A = this chain, B = another copy of it.
Amino acid sequence: MPTIREVASLAGVGIATVSRALNGERDVSEDARRRVLAACETLGYRPSSVARSLVRGKTENVGVALMSRHAPVILNPFYAVVTGGVEEVLEANDYHLLLSSLKRNDDLLALAQEGRVDGLLVVGCDIADEVLEKLARTGLPTVLVDHSFPGLPSVTTDHFGGAYQATRHVIEGGRQRVAFVSENLDNPNFRARLAGFRRALEDAGLPYDPRLVAAGGNAWEGGYYAMRQILAAAAPPDAVVGANDPAAISAMRALLEAGLEVPRDVAVIGFDDLHLSAQTSPPLSSVHVDKQGLGRIGAELLIARLRGERSEPETRVLPTALVVRGSSGGRA
């Protein structure tokens, strides 16, 4: 790899002039600039981004850290779309995207402190608060996506409101025994969704029956097992709200196996509105989450911060939208 010195000597100028010519400053004679450019061309020279980063103190890299138990993370249809939104904005702003799937909490701090990136987008809510605390203290510009934490800017979804919408929707369709299935009930986002579900029940004057709420494990099949638990514990519900689409979809399977028909016997609605949800039969109703917007806005927030335009932690909550398809239709 040629260096700036070789370019300088070939062009017959000093290295500072090469630097100036390449960085588009105007204090360079047309003649010198031409010679420099020509030398770069023949040598195939490009300034080393590493050397440049060292002296300028910034890398133009943004880290996207997705923590998940399911690796590789990019295969998760939710996060893949979020990442797509991030990608779009970073690219438009000439930042490079460093994709990092964190196996251990420690990896995040290492990434934040080794100076490989100018800022960090932390996606998902599987990060321990204690790590977030330390992360905030590093001072590295950071934005949380799909998660929030005091002291850190973030962009999230209106989980409570979305679940409220979904639940009210099935109730308005005439359902009275509404169940809630989830992969787990620890995830803060799922908890918020459950809270919205309960509030909707309450507002409709419907009783809350704990036997109609279950978690079946952190996997695609979680909803299936949750549904079976519910079916085993009580009389079948006439509606099911899934904490997310996979939970709802796999719950449908359990319903089917139990001889229940969707939506005739049981209305089903999911949450997230993944692309694949429209493909099930019957097509799954869902609560639309602006996944790309999450990524896009997260990246925008971070970039504003990198440019020094913003400082105080800012929180953005994206609204949801009810998407009614066949699975939550009225009774036959």
Q: Which residues of A contact B (CB under 8 A)?
A: 1, 44-51, 53-54, 59, 61, 71-75, 80-81, 83-85, 87-88, 91, 96-101, 103, 110, 113-116, 138, 275-276, 279-281
Contacts and interface: CB of A to CB of B under 8 A. Distances in A.
Nearest to A85: B72
A87 B99 contact: yes
A90 to B, nearest CB: 9
Given A74-B80, A281-B281, 4 more contacts: A44-B138, A51-B54, A96-B98, A279-B280
Best-buried of A54, A59, A281 by chain B (most CB within 10 Å): A54
Contacts of A45: 113
Nearest to A2: B113
A124 B48 CA distance: 27
B72 A84 contact: yes
Contact of A50 (B73, B116, B276): B116
Nearest to A277: B279
Q: How many copies does the complex hold?
A: 2
A45 B278 CA distance: 49
Nearest to A278: B279
Contact of A99 (B73, B97, B110): B97
A47 B99 CA distance: 20
Q: Which 8 residue pairs across A and B have the least CB separation, nearest first? A: A72-B84, A46-B113, A279-B279, A72-B87, A49-B114, A75-B84, A48-B115, A49-B116
Contacts of A91: 71-72, 101, 103
Contact of A46 (B46, B59, B81, B114): B114
A73 B90 CA distance: 13
A115 B74 contact: no
B97 A100 contact: yes
Nearest to A74: B84
B72 A114 contact: no
Contacts of A46: 110, 113-115
A279 B113 CA distance: 44
B279 A98 contact: no
Contacts of A96: 98, 100, 116
Contact of A114 (B48, B98, B99, B281): B48
B44 A54 contact: no
Nearest to A91: B101
Nearest to A102: B91
